[in-house]
Amino acid sequence: MNMCILAATPGVYYAFENSDTVGKAIVIGLLLGSVLTWSLMIEKSIHLHRAQKLSLRFLALFKANEKNLTTPGMIREGLNNPGPLATIYSAGVEKLQDFYQAGSREMYSSVHGVTPCKLSDAQYNAIEAVLEREVSAQIRELETNVGTLATLVSLSPFCGLFGTVWGDMMAFSGIAIAGKPDFTALAPGVAGALLTTVAGLVVAIPSLVGYNFINGAIRDLTVSMDNFTEEFMVRVKLEQLEFDADRQEQN
């Protein structure tokens, strides 16, 4: 997008016309890199915005439902919500249900949810391991193509610099071969050489801004997922305390 605007400038067109084959190839490659950069940034921004929105919606429902982790409404919302928090919840609650009813699926039709039972330390650790594994899977999904964007941030200025050094070398070699300092002949070659540096910076600057923004959004979601995992385990322990208290009252 920004490279297309740059290419429409008359001076830029003149510099491109006076570039050699290597310089033109670098500029075209950077143009394609610019298209890829903007495509990745737009796609990741939409994906992260949607993930944040879905996670906030599910978190509000999770906090509103304080009494039972395994109510049918919460389970349905976890299955229907594709956000990261809902996916983590579904993985954790499935493991919890396996421990509560030995893999039985009758709890999905229960009006009052699953009846808790006493959990061992090993079962606590198993539930926590499932949650942490799902958090890692969600982070990997959120970071898809971020490495490509980081590569474009790092590589674009170096490609531009290579094109400039190459173009200057060719321009000065031409003057040396001619045997006279003809600056009129030198200027077009230098202009073409400098174009690659400009093109590299035009790709790298928005890529760097987008990369930092996307990394910040991923960090925020990662913190939210870690906090949710801890809150889920606290809910399990509170549920166990209530179960112990009810059992003592019955005895």
For 204-235, how does the pLDDT look when each residue is reduced to its tens digit (9 = 90+)? 888 899 999 999 999 999 999 999 999 999 98
196 pLDDT tier (thresholds 50, 70, 90): confident
Residue with tokens 């209530």: 242
Distance CA 43, CA 145 (A): 10
51 pLDDT tier (thresholds 50, 70, 90): very high
Angle at 97 between CA 93 and CA 100, to 5 degrees: 140
What is residue 103's predicted lDDT score, i.e. its pLDDT?
37
Closest CA to 23 of 158, 197, 187: 197
Task: Give a yes or no: residue 251 inside a domain.
Answer: no
Q: Are 227 and 85 contacting, i.e. CB atoms less than 8 angstroms apart?
A: no
Number of domains in the chain: 1
Task: Give a yes or no: residue 226 inside a domain.
Answer: yes
Whether residue 6 has pLDDT greater than 70: no
Higher pLDDT, 71 or 228: 228
What is residue 5's predicted lDDT score, i.e. its pLDDT?
46
What is residue 180's predicted lDDT score, i.e. its pLDDT?
65
What is residue 218's predicted lDDT score, i.e. its pLDDT?
96
* DSSP code for 120: P
Whether residue 162 has pLDDT greater than 60: yes
Task: Give a yes or no: residue 38 inside a domain.
Answer: yes
Distance CA 234, CA 240 (A): 10
Mean residue pLDDT across the chain: 82
What is residue 8's predicted lDDT score, i.e. its pLDDT?
46
Whether residue 109 has pLDDT greater than 50: no
Q: Are 3 and 196 contacting, i.e. CB atoms less than 8 angstroms apart?
A: no
What is residue 84's predicted lDDT score, i.e. its pLDDT?
95
Q: Which domain holds residue 206?
A: 2-245
> Strand, helix or coil at 220?
helix
Higher pLDDT, 68 or 104: 68
- Work out the number of other CB atoms within 10 angstroms of the CB of residue 124: 15
Task: Give a yes or no: residue 250 inside a domain.
Answer: no
Binning the chain into helix, strand and coil, the percentages to the nearest 5 are 85, 0, 15
